[in-house]
């Protein structure tokens, strides 16, 4: 069944699949259209483990958010947050600290509309917010995020770019991430996951190459950077153990779970706290 018409905000591209809605489909969500599902089925043919990869990335997000909250950071700025689904950032953080706060940011109208409705139903809109914005404009995002009144600029923030930067083209991206790092107060965390071809071999590499080609047909082409370039997004921040590794291997709850090398992630903290 397609998305309810209430989620047809102005600016939605109904002709081409979109990364946020495809990710929602991969996680078993319902905020997607036939065009996204058809694209997703083609992705499965190109890369049969695509849904397992999506779930592994979502599980990484949960573990990373818990790490930040358990280390005293309970404010979250989630860039490219996508369509809300099970295990949202504010829900996970709320399990650790009931007073945690989160601002979601996305430029996909369906994702923003769904997030607003979800937060309205949460019963505590003062602690969470969503804004529609382009993450590459760091100053605009930062100003609007704090204008919501949800976040306290005097306290550390956990900045999240999970499974989104590989859908953002290079021009202006590295300077934007560097700007976020400068804006973050000391003691803040930066959580990142990204698809890569570095260290990927054999059939997994062939499948990822097919996925890249397929995404060229969507409204969100993919840029799968190498590990060194991804590592550079952390700048001078201190990576926490085990560093930048496959998302399924980052503080994994169940060591028996399969690990794919094509998606890597890590968490780093800004010095000086």
**124 phi and psi, to 5 degrees?**
-145, 65
Higher-pLDDT residue of 161 and 117 is 161
pLDDT at position 160 is: 98
Q: Which of 91-105, 117-131, 219-233 has the lowest mean pLDDT?
A: 117-131
pLDDT at position 246 is: 93
- Global pTM exceeds 0.75: yes
**124 located within any domain:** yes
**239 located within any domain:** yes
Produce one character per residue of 107-131: b if its CB has 16 or more CB atoms within 10 Å, e if not: bbbbbbbbbbebbeeeeeeebbbbb
Q: With pLDDT > 70 as the criterion, what percentage of the chain qualifies?
A: 89
**14 located within any domain:** no
Domain count for the chain, please give it: 1
**4 located within any domain:** no
pLDDT in tens, 136-194: 999 999 999 999 999 999 999 999 999 999 889 888 899 999 999 999 999 999 999 99
**8 located within any domain:** no
Task: Grade residue 273 by pLDDT with cuts at 50, 70 and 90.
Answer: low
pLDDT in tens, 17-73: 877 777 788 777 776 778 888 888 887 888 777 888 888 888 999 999 999 999 999
What tokens appear for 61 in the block? 């997000």
Average pLDDT over every residue of 245-259:
76
Asked whether residue 257 carries a pLDDT value surpassing 60, the answer given is: no
pLDDT at position 5 is: 45
Contact 174, 150 (CB under 8 A): no
Task: Grade residue 11 by pLDDT with cuts at 50, 70 and 90.
Answer: low
For 69, 251, 258, the CA distances from 254, given in Å and listed in that order, are 21, 9, 9
**70 located within any domain:** yes
In the numeric block, the tokens 């700007």 are attached to: 179
pLDDT in tens, 220-232: 777 789 999 999 9
**36 located within any domain:** yes
pLDDT at position 169 is: 83
Q: Which domain holds residue 206?
A: 19-270
CATH number of the domain where residue 164 is located? 3.40.50.150
């Amino acid at each position: 069944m397609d998305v309810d018409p209430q989620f047809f905000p102005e600016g939605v591209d109904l002709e081409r699949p979109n990364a946020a809605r495809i990710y929602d489909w991969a996680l078993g969500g319902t905020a997607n259209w036939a065009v996204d599902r058809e694209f997703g089925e083609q992705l499965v043919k190109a890369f049969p483990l695509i849904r397992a990869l999506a779930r592994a990335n979502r599980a990484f997000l949960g573990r990373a958010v818990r790490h930040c909250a358990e280390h005293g950071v309970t404010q979250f700025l989630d860039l490219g947050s996508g369509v809300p689904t099970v295990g949202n950032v504010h829900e996970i953080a709320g399990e650790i600290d009931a007073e945690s706060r989160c601002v979601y940011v996305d430029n996909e109208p369906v994702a923003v509309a769904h997030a607003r409705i979800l937060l309205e139903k949460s019963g505590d809109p003062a602690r969470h917010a969503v804004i529609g914005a382009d993450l590459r404009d760091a100053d605009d995002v930062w100003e609007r995020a704090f204008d919501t009144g949800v976040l306290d600029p005097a306290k550390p923030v956990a900045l999240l770019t999970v499974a989104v930067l590989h859908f953002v083209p290079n021009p202006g991206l590295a300077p934007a991430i560097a700007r976020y790092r400068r804006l973050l107060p000391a003691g803040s965390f930066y959580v990142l996951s990204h698809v890569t071809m570095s260290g990927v071999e054999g059939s997994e590499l062939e499948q990822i190459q097919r996925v890249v080609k397929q995404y060229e047909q969507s409204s969100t082409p993919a840029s799968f950077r190498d590990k060194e370039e991804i590592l550079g997004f952390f700048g001078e921040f201190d990576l926490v153990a085990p560093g930048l590794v496959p998302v399924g291997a980052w503080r994994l709850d169940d060591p028996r779970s399969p690990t794919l090398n094509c998606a890597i992630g890590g968490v780093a903290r800004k010095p000086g706290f």
